[in-house]
Amino acid sequence: MTNWKAVAVGFVVILVVGTGGLSIPILGQIGAGLLGGFAAGYLAGGTLGNGAWHGLVAGSVAGIIVSVLAATLGGLLGLAGGPLGGLLGGLGVLVAGIVLTLLFAIDSAIAGAVGAWVKS
């Protein structure tokens, strides 16, 4: 059973640290995923698999929401080049967002397992 409170806390940690981590391009985002996944796994507790699951869900939700927002913004900005520019701009950002989601999810799952291990 998923502990949505743990997932929500992990998600908020990812967003807050990720926003602050924009000044350090790659390390800031990876650090955000690690800290958010650790928080979700720690709060969920239980086995390593349980912590990894909660970290994975928190990282995935954060990645999906950021991807959809970025794709919408890319599509709107691309409309300056006409309807085809908006479509291509939005799709390009969405593909990049899928990679971002995987990045958030993988390191968050690993950190979630560590968080559950620390708590036990």
* Mean per-residue pLDDT, 97-109: 85
Q: What are phi and psi of 3, to 5 degrees?
A: -90, 100
Whether the CB-CB separation of 107 and 36 falls below 8 Å is answered with no
Domain hosting residue 50, numbered range: 4-119
What is the value of pTM for the model shown?
A: 0.84
pLDDT at 86 over 80: no
Lowest-confidence pick of 9-18, 45-54, 98-107: 98-107
Give the number of domains in the chain: 1
Whether the CB-CB separation of 55 and 112 falls below 8 Å is answered with yes
Classified as helix, coil or strand, 2 is coil
